[in-house]
């Protein structure tokens, strides 16, 4: 980890696909050393924004910067040492074991002819321990439950040893207990390691419970950003989702709880 976490910024960012503009002229700062959730209705550009922040797609206009440097000007290997990305529904090679999949996170730190080092082994061991999967390191990934598989993918990102991790819908297709398990894990990694965590999520109430900062997108672009209580307001929910709702204090966490009307 670096001494000070780096800031990820969108500056005048426009994103889209042939014949369709998804995000237009967005200015946004994703706070370093915090847990951020990107929220909004389907089709508003949540995953597109995350992919642009990971340099997986090129902007139509504007730029994304990391630590003040344009992502497009950062060497690919250097970027992979600073920023990890877990895409939506990643696929593991057939027959691969837990440890072998997590070891792939070490690729940015190894030269083409470099052998497996003690540092690589230690990084994999630490990542597996962090997600409580060390005891299943030799198990084929295909034999794991959905929650266990997601923990293994997070371990791969941790083995990459970056200060920032971007996750595209890490709780999709998981049942509620496994969703909570993954979100608590990400929150713990932030608290214990200082890792900047940025995720695309769908569940507003779980996002409010497990995030420090929310970014709410709507059909017309950015609706609100900031602490959960400042973002999940009744007017903002109406603008973003066309949703009539009450926002009440969560009886367990005291974070905002959205109750549709």
> Token pair of 185, please?
């894990």
Which pLDDT does position 175 carry in this prediction?
86
Tell me the mean pLDDT in the region 86-115. Answer: 87
> Token pair of 168, please?
């595209």
> What does DSSP assign to residue 54?
T
Cα three-residue angle 46-54-29, rounded to 5 degrees: 65
> Token pair of 254, please?
């005291």
Tell me the pLDDT tens digit for each residue of 189-212: 999 989 999 999 999 999 999 999
Domain 1-82+164-233 has CATH 3.40.50.300: yes
Q: Are 162 and 154 in contact (CB under 8 A)?
A: no
188-to-134, 171, 193, 210 alpha-carbon distances in Å = 17, 16, 8, 10
Which pLDDT does position 130 carry in this prediction?
86
pTM comes to 0.90
Rounded CA gap, 247 and 255, in Å? 10
Strand partners, 258: 247
Which pLDDT does position 49 carry in this prediction?
96
Tell me the pLDDT tens digit for each residue of 72-87: 999 999 999 999 999 8
Tell me the pLDDT tens digit for each residue of 144-177: 988 888 889 989 988 999 999 999 998 887 888 8
* All structural domains of the chain with their residue ranges: 1-82+164-233, 90-161
Residue 33 confidence class, pLDDT cut points 50, 70, 90: very high
For residue 176, how many other CB atoms are within 10 A of its CB?
Answer: 10
Rounded CA gap, 221 and 75, in Å? 30
For residue 200, how many other CB atoms are within 10 A of its CB?
Answer: 25
Which pLDDT does position 147 carry in this prediction?
84
């Amino acid at each position: 980890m670096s001494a000070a976490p780096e800031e990820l910024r969108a500056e005048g960012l426009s994103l889209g696909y042939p014949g369709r503009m998804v995000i237009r002229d967005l200015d946004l700062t994703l706070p370093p050393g915090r847990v951020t959730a990107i929220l909004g209705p389907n089709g508003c550009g949540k995953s597109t924004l995350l992919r642009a922040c990971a340099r997986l797609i090129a902007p139509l206009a504007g730029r994304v910067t990391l630590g003040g440097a344009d992502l497009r000007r950062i060497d690919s290997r250097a970027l992979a040492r600073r920023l990890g990305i877990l895409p939506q529904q990643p696929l593991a090679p057939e027959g691969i074991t837990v440890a072998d999949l997590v070891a792939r996170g070490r690729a940015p730190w190894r030269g083409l002819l470099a052998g497996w080092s003690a540092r690589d082994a230690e990084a994999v061991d630490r990542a597996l321990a962090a997600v409580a999967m060390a005891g299943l390191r030799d198990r084929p990934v295909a034999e794991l439950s959905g929650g266990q598989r997601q923990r293994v993918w997070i371990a791969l990102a941790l083995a990459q040893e970056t200060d920032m991790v971007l996750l595209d819908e890490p709780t999709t297709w998981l049942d509620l207990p496994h969703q909570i398990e993954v979100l608590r894990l990400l929150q713990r990694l932030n608290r214990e390691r200082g890792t900047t965590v940025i995720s695309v999520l769908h569940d507003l109430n779980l996002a409010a419970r497990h995030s420090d900062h929310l970014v709410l997108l709507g059909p017309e672009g950015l609706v609100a950003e900031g602490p959960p209580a400042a973002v999940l307001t009744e007017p903002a929910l109406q603008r973003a989702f066309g949703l009539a709702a009450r926002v009440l204090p969560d009886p367990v966490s005291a974070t905002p709880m959205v109750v549709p009307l």
